């Protein structure tokens, strides 16, 4: 019997490869950072995002699937299906524009809420390395199983949101771990926690409207859960009920080891 989930996963792989190809071709274009419009909720759309998103829409037509699409640029594109593809065509676009390698295409398929995501695919746009997970089926990097690392007290490595708009709590995390990194690519930082490269990823800005959208985290969320980790907002509220819409934003505390999450609760570790 044909496994529909396996077929859907292969479609996501092909879409991710197509996006990587389009972004690679755009890397040296002088127009890659040009503002070409405004996204569905008022964020500027750069040429590289527009090209990558157009590649996804073209690929969906070529694949013959009827999935609806949720993307920060196009908004909710209704295509007649009962499944929703949650897309960030270039997560880490500022890195791409600066010539830095930390950027991904993030694809998640499901319905309703974050807990309704069945499949997640995150592909590194620089290397082509692909992370993926299927509900109840584990998490993988290039086909090899991955697992979040056990917590080692005082040996933590954190991925953090830092910079002008970072909250005081986010900045405080920088002094708590043994090492701190800030890559500027939420989906990548979440899958790196999933494979044990770090203990946690914390993102919180000074105002709620500057926080993350579900398009940034949907695929990484499923991969992290299947690797044994989890995610809450900065106040410790689980993210699973976050709706698959663009209206809401959220802070994120993504962790590998649940015992670390218990110790790092907002009123504890910090």
Is the dihedral angle over the CA atoms 174, 176, 178, 184 positive or is it negative?
A: negative
In Å, what is the CA distance from 240 to each residue of 50, 163, 237?
29, 27, 9
143 burial via Cβ count (<10 Å: 0-12, 13-18, 19+):
exposed
Report how far Cα 14 is from the mean position of its chain's Cα atoms: 18
Report how far Cα 104 is from the mean position of its chain's Cα atoms: 8
The architecture CATH gives domain 157-263: 3-Layer(aba) Sandwich (3.40)
d(CA 80, CA 60): 12
Q: pLDDT, tens digit, for every residue of 34-85?
A: 444 445 555 655 688 888 999 999 999 999 999 999 998 889 999 998 999 9
Number of H helices, E strands in the chain: 7, 15
Q: Which residues contact 269 (CB under 8 A, 6 or more apart)?
A: 176, 263
**pLDDT for residue 26:** 67
d(CA 57, CA 55): 6
The architecture CATH gives domain 4-145: 2-Layer Sandwich (3.30)
Ranges of residues in the chain with a pLDDT under 50 are 1, 33-38, 268, 270
**pLDDT for residue 36:** 41
Domain boundaries, the chain: 4-145, 157-263
**pLDDT for residue 38:** 46
**By C-alpha distance, which of 243, 217, 245, 244 is closest to 231?**
217
């Amino acid at each position: 019997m044909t496994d529909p989930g396996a077929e859907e996963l292969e479609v996501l792989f092909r879409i991710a490869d197509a996006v990587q190809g389009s972004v690679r071709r755009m890397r040296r274009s002088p127009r890659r950072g040009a503002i070409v419009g405004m996204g569905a909720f008022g964020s500027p759309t750069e040429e590289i995002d527009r090209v990558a998103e157009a590649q996804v829409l073209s690929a969906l037509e070529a694949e013959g699937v009827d999935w609806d699409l949720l993307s920060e640029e196009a908004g909710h594109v209704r295509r007649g299906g009962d499944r929703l593809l949650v897309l960030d065509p270039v997560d880490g676009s500022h890195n791409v524009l600066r010539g830095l390698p930390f950027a991904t295409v993030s694809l998640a398929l499901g319905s309703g809420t974050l807990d309704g995501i069945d499949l997640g695919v995150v592909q590194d746009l620089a290397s082509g390395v692909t992370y993926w997970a299927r509900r109840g089926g584990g998490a993988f990097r290039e086909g090899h199983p991955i697992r979040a690392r056990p917590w080692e007290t005082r040996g933590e490595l954190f991925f953090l949101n830092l910079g002008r708009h970072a909250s005081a709590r986010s900045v405080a995390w920088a002094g708590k771990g043994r090492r701190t990194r800030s890559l500027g690519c939420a989906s990548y930082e979440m899958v790196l926690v999933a494979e044990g490269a770090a203990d946690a990823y914390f993102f919180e800005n000074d105002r709620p409207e500057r926080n993350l959208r579900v398009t940034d985290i949907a695929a990484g969320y499923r991969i992290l859960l299947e690797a044994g980790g989890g995610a809450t907002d900065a106040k410790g509220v689980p993210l699973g009920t976050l709706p698959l819409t663009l209206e809401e934003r959220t802070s994120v505390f993504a962790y590998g080891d649940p015992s670390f999450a218990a110790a790092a609760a907002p009123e504890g570790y910090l």
